[in-house]
Structure 1
Amino acid sequence: MRYLSLAILLALLSLKANAQDDPLVDRLKAYGDAKQNANLFVHFDKNVYTNYETIWFTAYLIRKSKAPINQHKLISVALIRDADSTVVIEERFPMQNGLAFGSLVLPDSLLTGNYRLLAITDRLTNSSPEALFVQPITIKTNIDAPFKASMKLIEPGSNKVLLSVTSKDNRFLPKPTMVSYKYGNFTKTAKTDASGQLLLDLPKQENISDPNLHVKLKYEKDSSLISMALPPEKSRASVKFYPEGGNLVAGLPMNIAWEVKDQFQMPIALSALLFKNNQVIDTIETSSYGIGKFRLLADADADYTVKLAHSGLIDSIYHLPKALKKGVGLSIPEALAQDSLRIGLRTNDAKKLTIRIHNFKESFVYATFEMEQHFRTIKIPLNEVPKGLNTITITDSLDRPLAERMFFAHYDSSPKLSLSTNEPSYTQRQKVSLSLKLDSKIENALVSIACVQDSRLNGKNTNDIESYTFLNNELEQLPLNVNGQAYKDKAYLEQILLVKGWRRYTWQEFQEFRPESAAFKTDSLQVIGKVTKSKKELVAPVIVGVLNAQQMGLITTRSTGLFNLNTNELMAEAGRKMYLFVNEKNKLPYKIEVDDAFSNMNAKLRHQISYQSNILPSNLLNNSELVLQSNEKAIRLKEVTITAKKDNGFTFGRGLPGSNACGDYVCRYNILNCPNHVGDSDNTQPVPGRTYMTNGHSMLYTECKASVANNGNELFTPVKGIRLQKEFYLSDYKEPQEPAFFSTIYWNYATLLKGDKATDLSFYTSDITGKFRIVVQGLTDNDVIYAERFFEVKAKQKSDP
């Protein structure tokens, strides 16, 4: 092994002063600006919810794109059902300095199943959102299913599925159940027979993209969704080979990574035989992530092939790329670098080379040298290289790429934040004391904090701010990390960096890029209103009133009747409805139409986001799997049926028992808008002038101003407001008769942490027993931060106080 000469090593050590000498600096910046996307991350309190629960969130705009962070004024959050891409609910919230806080209440009528939360900000580039984030979630129910439904495959290898529907106590239902099902591009509607069964004979389809059979059942007024993955027909696997550095070069020993996926783009763990000119030379294999690595000294004219050993795949031969007769090999023993990067260079063609470390936005290290030896080891300091994914590109004198490799600079998996509780385990309704302490190197941090039942954090859907910022937001869809947090798993990351590249950035595309050809049109999502009179355009401006339960505002339209609804005019507390009306004596000839760009964009994106992650076989064979366990819910002594009626009038309330026109109610324990008694038949309307408990303290209730509305008047046009955050309700649960089955027992939008002292807070466990998880994530002065801690909640014994 020969090492780089002292002169060249010293040149490399001083590259931080010469990086600006890179002739491609300006083009890299222009290319990076053209391709860069904003990094929006949303911390939701959990990813498994049930009806009438509240979704709490904090949104962090970590990196700007075309617009500065402070130009992102609003964020929209929409709930989209996977089964049919229906936008179920959508709300928008103010954003300031890249931060947004809010909550959404899930309706009682929500069907169980898989959903996605779509978050976008109001800034657009070329008619697309600059910042977008998608969070998969699951909706379960706290009510036992009104009927039981299950599916099973009749026999292996067939596409015949037997569906069975019975009552809750396993009896035959007196009436047939309506069944709608979809498999691939085949859909059909049918009914169960007298025994509650239906045989689904599904046509076999080639190149099907979704392995799941989706079934919707409707019996009288009750509905349920179930699905199952059908075993696919044998198909060819997707096999790709990645010689380290980019090319296989004859006569140079090289590492070759390879990746195997099935027809649904899911990774496959298997073994295979490596052939040279039809002669077996090695046995190779992939990990559970579908990724493997082997070493090969290739001959120039040899044919190298791989044959997979897997009974579920069509027997196929896969060819490695042909070896170049001359070239450069690049190897990195450890792609997770800290303060320096060690690389190995091999060549069979001595020439002048250029080393460039960059991130396709900026150039950080730039040097040229003569590669006279066949092999060199070079150690490069990373003082000027930012933390995260970066690329080292080896080019010739004409800047043509010869080898390239991605690595992670300044990787550090050590904890930045420590969490400690006063006890390792607690009983029901016991006080928890939590202390948060930053690492001594960190001065400040702004974090959101959630403490939730661990089973409400499904590992398949879990996001964390470190893994998303440094990995998911930069690379294409990654295989699910079985150990939880991808960023902390070194072995996983080393495999990923062997086969994943900058899918949005390539050197070939960069060379063809011309800054003058990159045209960007920036805009923002807005809510626009238009007033017409007798179905005709106005010729003079009119006054439009904006009314909610708290205040009324006035807007003067343009002479054509157009008007903008800005943030201040649409501000309203969560749950408050908002209406527009024309402030003229004779309102009948006037009509207001609202063009809501946020709703239009959600409708446009709802079909696209389902393709942003791999489709997993769901195997939801029984609808009871979407019902909470008995220790997670209160026993329902009676059910309240809420009938939705067509409402063309002006009403703010949700129609819940005991609520007034503003949607406010008081539970039996004198708590205003108690989250534990939403829809309870014992609720009463609050009385103006009386004092009620809320958020742990008392408050004086003032008049509900929605009474000014005239119910049944069709002259008011509803419009979505900008929702102000509401505080998380903390309770000590001292009332023994009050059930407290909360899976989220603590939430805080934004807590400021100081590096010189610990931050202490407290909350109480609920009636749910089992494992709970505390998740803390957010921003430091120059980085992102994540930490978690677990504790157990045990059932209180009778002797306990």
Structure 2
Amino acid sequence: MVKNMLPVILLLGVYIASAQQQPGHTSSPTIRTALQKIYLTTDKVIYTPNEQLWFAAYLFENQSLVRDTADVLTLGLYDCVSGQMLALKKFPLHNRVATGNILLPDSLIAGNYNLVAYTNIVDTQHVPIGTGFKPLRIYAKTGEKAFTTLLKILDSLSTSDKIVVQHQIIPESYQVTFKNARARYQLAGERSKNLELDKYGNGMVYINPKDIKTANRSFSVTTIYNGDTVKNRIRIPGNIGVQANVSASFYPEGGFLAPGYPNRVFWEVTDKHTATSMRALLLEDNQVIDTIETSANGMSFFYVNAKPGRQYAVSLGLKTNSPKFLLPPVASHGIRFEIPDVVVNDSLTIELWSTEKRSLKLMVIDITGLPSVHSFDISSYKKLTVLLNDFARGLCKIFIADEQNNVVAGSYFFSHYNNRNQLHLETDKAAYKTRDSVALKVTIVDKDGNPINSVATISCALLSRIDFGMIKNIESDHDLGVVAHQERSFLKRRNILDSAMLLRHIIRMKNMEETDTLLIYGRHTGSFLKPVVQLQLARFGKREKKPMELVLFKESNFSILKTNEEGILTLSNDELLVKDGRKLFVKGMGKKNGDFYVQTEDSLLTAHSNIEVPVYNPVYREQAPDLQALLKTDREEKFSSTMETVIVRSKRDYGATTGIANPCGDYVCQYNILNCPNHTIPYKWPVIGQKYRSVSGEIIYQGCDYQNNMYLPPASLVYLPRNFLGMDSTLLKQEFPEYLSTLSWHPFKKLKKETENQLVFHTSDQKGVYLITVQGFAENGQPFYGEKTIRVED
């Protein structure tokens, strides 16, 4: 029986009914086997300018195709509105993991950004073969401002000739009204205009897409209240409404419209493969029977009670004369079935409907390709439960075959989600005082309850800095690689495997390639390159194309290097490796060394321009935060006074040197700590011979030689990560308040099965609810994720 069905299955896959295409519509991009994929996790999701972002990266790769292992990870912050990459920085990649930190620029404007990571292996088109993305939000609040702002496009009010942008003031305390708030808005290239706000700080702007004259479709708003100014901006989408290049596709569950039943149909609307929000009319023989709409990410589902001989279509834009997209024709007979819960542990439940009594077969194929066949009879309705004890974890296929072994329906589901490793988190108490000690105990056990070794990334951050609409976790990301390979972004859910939206993803897949579930959409050219950093000395605007001896200074060490016959020196990653915040410089040998300067070539820094960065939905349609939860958890989030002190004193004490480190990368924070990891905004330069506090105790600063030195660009260096200290012994003793939104960050911490894994950290002076997250991999190769909240009170 199995042998008869396999050829049919291999040829069929899952039947997908596509809508009629409009003229000029191009086909979907080809899905190819990917080579590398990066999963990114950060200490939180919401940041402010001049704040440290801590990250951990996991690299998954197809080792049979990638011969050379990547050893450098480049991380950058992508501005989705301007299309620019900010704060590029390199980090060492060892054993397929990397960790580090970047200081977010103080020039960031409120809005949504994308954290982008890529490896130092590129194809012949200079496209990195390994990439990772994570959406982030920036709050433009520095100091103790009373509010931040939110901009979003209202899908329900927008049409083809009208885009509606809503402005909201989000208070940072229990304040509700903003009676005297003022705002001005501006489209790129146009003059600013007043935006009328109500007493709650809300207002709306109506934009005609035809009035946008420039290619830069940014929309910015400046809001002022009680002397505080907050800027925010979004990108106006290319279209909302019916355009000639818009396409709609429909995916009935089971593969077709079964007659006599309400069929669940998933559908998506795209504009040049970009998700588009759309309202539409559902038609039966050109008569309106319902109104439907896609969500902001361009997809949704509806039910249609299919009748034999009828033609069903969708008219976009709520106008019967708009372009119509046909649904698949109604089958003369067939089986309709639904999988109520696609994420199962040891069993799979299926509901089936049939208009006649039939003897059918159910075939289930696990991720390894092994089939399981079950026969059953049905008269009108049947609910089946299939045991999956021997199934491999991952994405499985399911098919229904008739008496002649013809496949009549098919879909996908996940098996063994609840049969995973179990993570147990325990704290010594639920509520803590400020500057209190928190003891966290972490235990990882397998499905049988046996402790196992693992590596975990552990963080504890303020709950209001976690947007559950944007957060990802490694357990979901690991298993959903193939499912999301047609998406520009992953579903932004706290746990995608617990979401009913997963089924929407599975059914709407146009095709599925037999590939590793860890690896997703990418390019495969067969040959790869590893970009290097080259330097050459120049004098008076002319390169010195001859062998020369150079001295490379790295902190207190130096080495003698020599350029080749063309005057070019290639630097290895080890030679470029420095401590975070430090600099690397060279000196030319000879009397004229002071006349030279360095020219560098680093093609890896420009490789990001060849990456198609996902445009996440929140870039222009941002989900409103849970305001009640924000007010309940963090009544008045405060910020340490580092920046304000530096800005004020820089005008009178230290001039241009304040706010930046000295040429060697050294600085002193406002608490007299040398190269303080918690206060990364320099307060002043250290003085040779002066005594300063440091992480390891008191130290006498020895200075550095930076006269007549030629510095390599910081973006070309490879940085060792800083140690996250949080509320260490120094900060716990200080008289000044310290308001930290991240209390703990421990990437790749080893958890041993034979010992009690306990982590101790301290709360700061910031009160509120904090979220502890633990995620990583166990020695059996299975990922795990868990979370727990604690409260900091008076």
Give 1:5's aligned residue.
none
Give 1:97's aligned residue.
95
Percent identical pairs in the alignment equals: 22
For residues 223 and 431 of structure 2, the distance between their equivalents in structure 1, rounded to whole angstroms, comes to 42
Give the one of 545, 562, 567 matched to 1:556. 562
Give the one of 470, 476, 487 matched to 2:497. 487
Pair 1:257 & 2:265 matched: yes
Go from structure 1 to structure 2 and tell me whether the alpha carbon gap of 1:662 and 1:142 turns closer, same or farther (over 3 Å shift).
Answer: same
Give the one of 38, 43, 65 matched to 1:40. 38
For residues 369 and 149 of structure 1, the distance between their equivalents in structure 2, rounded to whole angstroms, comes to 59
Give a deviation string over 1:644-686, Cα, whole Å, max 9, x none: 99xxxxxxx99336965534344565543334555575x6726
Moved more, 762-771 or 729-738: 729-738
For residues 148 and 336 of structure 1, the distance between their equivalents in structure 2, rounded to whole angstroms, comes to 38
Q: Is contact 2:81–2:218 with CA below 8 Å preserved after alignment? A: no
Give 1:319's aligned residue.
326
Give a deviation string over 1:393-448, Cα, whole Å, max 9, x none: 7899xx99875422213222777211111111112111111111112345111011
Give 1:71's aligned residue.
69
Give 1:718's aligned residue.
713
For residues 147 and 770 of structure 1, the distance between their equivalents in structure 2, rounded to whole angstroms, comes to 17
For residues 163 and 474 of structure 1, the distance between their equivalents in structure 2, rounded to whole angstroms, comes to 35
Superposition pairs of residues 242-391 of structure 1, within 5 angstroms: 242-248=251-257, 255-259=263-267, 265=275, 275=284, 278=287, 291-292=300-301, 294=303, 299=308, 301-305=309-313, 319-323=326-330, 334-339=341-346, 357=365, 363-365=369-371, 386-391=392-397
Q: Is contact 2:692–2:701 with CA below 8 Å preserved after alignment? A: no
Secondary structure of 1:568's match?
A: helix
Corresponding pairs, count: 717
Secondary structure of 1:460's match?
A: coil
Go from structure 1 to structure 2 and tell me whether the alpha carbon gap of 1:471 and 1:680 turns closer, same or farther (over 3 Å shift).
Answer: same
Give a deviation string over 1:704-745, Cα, whole Å, max 9, x none: 3x2x221xx485553531101111114254435222111111
The one-letter amino acid paired with 2:326 is H
For residues 741 and 702 of structure 1, the distance between their equivalents in structure 2, rounded to whole angstroms, comes to 29
Secondary structure of 1:245's match?
A: coil
Give 2:788's aligned residue.
789
For residues 735 and 394 of structure 1, the distance between their equivalents in structure 2, rounded to whole angstroms, comes to 68
Give a deviation string over 1:430-477, Cα, whole Å, max 9, x none: 111111111234511101111111111122321211222222664144
Go from structure 1 to structure 2 and tell me whether the alpha carbon gap of 1:373 and 1:641 turns closer, same or farther (over 3 Å shift).
Answer: closer
Superposition pairs of residues 466-481 of structure 1, within 5 angstroms: 466-471=475-480, 474-475=483-484, 476-477=486-487
Superposition pairs of residues 205-604 of structure 1, within 5 angstroms: 205=210, 213-215=219-221, 225-227=231-233, 235=242, 240-248=249-257, 255-259=263-267, 265=275, 275=284, 278=287, 291-292=300-301, 294=303, 299=308, 301-305=309-313, 319-323=326-330, 334-339=341-346, 357=365, 363-365=369-371, 386-392=392-398, 404-412=410-418, 416-439=422-445, 440-441=449-450, 443-471=452-480, 474-475=483-484, 476-477=486-487, 484-489=494-499, 491-497=500-506, 499-501=507-509, 505=513, 519-531=525-537, 540-587=546-593, 592-604=598-610
What is the CA distance between 1:566 and its match in structure 2? 1.2
Give a deviation string over 1:479-506, Cα, whole Å, max 9, x none: 99797322233x3434443x33266639
The one-letter amino acid paired with 1:709 is Y
Q: Is contact 2:767–2:792 with CA below 8 Å preserved after alignment? A: yes
Q: Is contact 1:336–1:494 with CA below 8 Å preserved after alignment? A: no
Go from structure 1 to structure 2 and tell me whether the alpha carbon gap of 1:295 and 1:641 turns closer, same or farther (over 3 Å shift).
Answer: closer
Q: Is contact 1:19–1:363 with CA below 8 Å preserved after alignment? A: no
Q: Is contact 2:455–2:777 with CA below 8 Å preserved after alignment? A: yes
For residues 524 and 746 of structure 2, the distance between their equivalents in structure 1, rounded to whole angstroms, comes to 42
Q: Is contact 1:659–1:685 with CA below 8 Å preserved after alignment? A: no
What is the CA distance between 1:110 and its match in structure 2? 3.8
For residues 125 and 206 of structure 1, the distance between their equivalents in structure 2, rounded to whole angstroms, comes to 41
Give a deviation string over 1:270-315, Cα, whole Å, max 9, x none: 99767368596x999999996336475653x43234679x979998
Give a deviation string over 1:543-574, Cα, whole Å, max 9, x none: 33333334323333222233322111001010
Pick the structure with greater CA Rg. Answer: 1
For residues 601 and 110 of structure 2, the distance between their equivalents in structure 1, rounded to whole angstroms, comes to 31
The one-letter amino acid paired with 1:418 is H
Give 2:768's aligned residue.
770
Pair 1:617 & 2:621 matched: yes
Superposition pairs of residues 50-199 of structure 1, within 5 angstroms: 50-64=48-62, 68=66, 71-126=69-124, 127-140=126-139, 141-143=141-143, 181-182=186-187, 187-189=189-191
| Superposed CA RMSD | 5.7
Secondary structure of 1:466's match?
A: helix
The one-letter amino acid paired with 1:321 is P
Give 1:709's aligned residue.
706
For residues 106 and 288 of structure 2, the distance between their equivalents in structure 1, rounded to whole angstroms, comes to 64
Q: Is contact 1:545–1:583 with CA below 8 Å preserved after alignment? A: yes
For residues 540 and 288 of structure 1, the distance between their equivalents in structure 2, rounded to whole angstroms, comes to 59
Give the one of 725, 739, 744 matched to 2:742. 744
Give 2:686's aligned residue.
685
Q: Is contact 1:123–1:525 with CA below 8 Å preserved after alignment? A: yes
For residues 711 and 581 of structure 2, the distance between their equivalents in structure 1, rounded to whole angstroms, comes to 18
What is the CA distance between 1:228 and its match in structure 2? 6.6
Q: Is contact 2:111–2:233 with CA below 8 Å preserved after alignment? A: no
The one-letter amino acid paired with 1:455 is S
Go from structure 1 to structure 2 and tell me whether the alpha carbon gap of 1:71 and 1:579 turns closer, same or farther (over 3 Å shift).
Answer: same
The one-letter amino acid paired with 2:603 is A
Give a deviation string over 1:245-274, Cα, whole Å, max 9, x none: 33446x696944223669883667x99767
The one-letter amino acid paired with 1:445 is S
Give a deviation string over 1:58-84, Cα, whole Å, max 9, x none: 111134366559701010111222331
For residues 555 and 59 of structure 2, the distance between their equivalents in structure 1, rounded to whole angstroms, comes to 31
For residues 152 and 371 of structure 2, the distance between their equivalents in structure 1, rounded to whole angstroms, comes to 59
TM-score, normalised to structure 2, is 0.73
Q: Is contact 1:545–1:580 with CA below 8 Å preserved after alignment? A: yes
Give 2:175's aligned residue.
none
Give 2:23's aligned residue.
none
What is the CA distance between 1:784 and its match in structure 2? 1.2
Superposition pairs of residues 636-647 of structure 1, within 5 angstroms: 639-641=645-647
Give 2:518's aligned residue.
none
For residues 599 and 525 of structure 2, the distance between their equivalents in structure 1, rounded to whole angstroms, comes to 33
Give a deviation string over 1:127-168, Cα, whole Å, max 9, x none: 322221112222233236799999999xx9877999999xxx
What is the CA distance between 1:752 and its match in structure 2? 1.1
Go from structure 1 to structure 2 and tell me whether the alpha carbon gap of 1:75 and 1:479 turns closer, same or farther (over 3 Å shift).
Answer: closer
Give 1:799's aligned residue.
none
Give a deviation string over 1:96-115, Cα, whole Å, max 9, x none: 11111111122444444332
What is the CA distance between 1:364 and its match in structure 2? 3.5
For residues 368 and 746 of structure 1, the distance between their equivalents in structure 2, rounded to whole angstroms, comes to 51
Secondary structure of 2:442's match?
A: strand
Secondary structure of 2:606's match?
A: helix
What is the CA distance between 1:386 and its match in structure 2? 3.8
